[in-house]
Structure 1
Amino acid sequence: MPTIPARTLHARTAESLADGHATPEDLLHLGTDEARTLSVALFRRLHGLQEGTREYSYVRNTLVELNLSLVKYAARRFRGRSEPLEDIVQVGTVGLIKAINRYDVERGVQFATFALPTITGEIKRFLRDTSWAVRVPRRLQELRLDIAKTGDVLEQRLGRQPTERELTQELGITDAELAEGRRAASGYTARSLDAPAGEDEHSTPLTRSLGLDEEAYERIECLEALKPLLAALGDRDRLILSLRYGDELTQDAIGERLGISQMQVSRLLSRIMRTLRAGLLADDEVPADEGRERAPAPARDPEPEPART
């Protein structure tokens, strides 16, 4: 099957666009450089058209089709979240349209460089507004959804609200798990502290009833979170932490105690603290490297990964 030279294909597609007869199939055959060149030409043409006209809509829609790969690239960085990828792509497309409306081709900035922050920002706002108010383990998030869906199914089947026993039997879970899943639902939305404390809208706001922050509570929370991480450390690592932060010995004194140099103690402490910090900040929903992909050709180059130590 003979291939059509790129220049000929580009000329045909550009001519079709000029006449308003190009199809999505025409755009699929464009190469990266052709798509970029065509986008620049279309942006110049768009700025000379009146918004709201049929021709304006056609050119803008064509720009959306040409640059949709930017949305897909940005959306894949957020895969694994609770929201479907299709919804994230749809929201990202809204960001793409906003970027197209604001882009000035005469400033000399590549459109991908200009558009990606807008697309990503739109997706982040969407996830912020639809995500959990507090961090809840994925297991409990899924359990909450299962309880809600099963409750709806049983209500339609029985013609009434199901009892807790009927829910647990249908789901195959215990009463304690049912209660835990229902408590998890309270983490999805947070009540404003400026909201009235009572049913009367003129009652005292919740902020007036809050006490002062107690630093001891925060320390207790940190210690409780560290317990399993400390237990996972080796004997020597735990000893070094005990000598440094329990007995408050200097690094030189610890080195003499263990028969190693001060520099080795410093490196060991740095490694231990990195391990503990990573454990505290670990996200149980999306692995750190998940979704890290090379940007599509029209987009800016991805940032280099930091050197491994």
Structure 2
Amino acid sequence: MADVGNKTSPSTSGGQSSWDGRERRGPGRQDDEARARKLLETMRAGGPDAAAARDALILQFRPLVQKQARHFLTGSVPFEDLVQEGFLGLMYAIDQYDPHRGAKLITYATHHIDGHLRHFLRDRVQIIKEPAWLQEMAQRVRRETETLTHELGREPTDAELAHAMGLSEAEIARINATRATFAVASLDEAQESGAPAAHVAESNLQAAATELPLEDKIVLENALVRLKEIERKVLYSFYYDDKSQTEIARELGVSNNYISHILKNSARKLQQMFRSDAVREAALQHEQRRRRLATHGPAALAAEEEAAAPPSVVDPVTGLYTAEYFQARLDEEVSRALRHQLELSLIRVAVGEDTPEAALFVRIAQTIKGCMR
């Protein structure tokens, strides 16, 4: 995959780092801090060694980035994406760090690495999987937004975006509202980051959640009825009636903090419910497979599963990513580069079929793939 410029290359490059991310004490830790300060001074002094000093400083913190990324590993986001975001936080910290304020560089870097990771996951991780139609529409909105942002030099308005996509402003608002409804898990993250929970989706809920497609609304309602009455009332008021945290607290005669507590705990309960449902569904599928195996035999079952299997992200002949998966990942990299105003590099290796050089080009591409994202 493409990498976001040379700035992020330390995430996959070789070399040893003396900084393992642990809070060590004594001479070893002091040497690490002193070396980092020296590299920072060289980098900011400019001159021929500035770029090399910056790369060395990033490499020194590579284990710290990887360590913090593992803390946020959930299985729904690739580890390499977390590391990439962690390095963006590290580079921001290196550029903004002021040694005269007293904070240690590792402490300052850890804060910004975690901040970037939390922000990234807040936008990506959801406890309710978005349906295919919503994912496709969201991707269209994202692509058109990026195109218009590049053309206009600013983010487009809903009216401009709707005109470019051939939709109405109400339809754009409905898409945003639907996606916000599926992002219940971000309430928990907002509490940890210190932001008021009610503000997480409030700005996007321009249309009521009752505009969800029927099958998605049923999924939510079936889960909500398993909560306590006050939890259902708060969640319905917040997501379906589009009421603010303050309005809900006033109606129930309780404090805003208590409403925040209910929203946070309810999100966690919903998350556990959907995970439990997924486990039960997996057990049911296993039993159904066992019965089909006993009825039809292994050969027929294998043919049936192969026909129903989702397409692989890797081409079985070349061992490289398929065009569809590559395009999806490239879209993510472009979005990341635009968000952080970074350069984007792409290497394309064309492999002709049935040519003497094909095998060589495949090996070259695989080598490049192993060195870049």
Query: Does the pair score TM above 0.5?
Result: no
Query: TM-score, normalising length from structure 2?
Result: 0.35
Task: Looking at secondary structure, tell me which structure has more helix per residue.
Answer: 2
Query: TM-score, normalising length from structure 1?
Result: 0.41
Greater CA radius of gyration, 1 or 2?
1
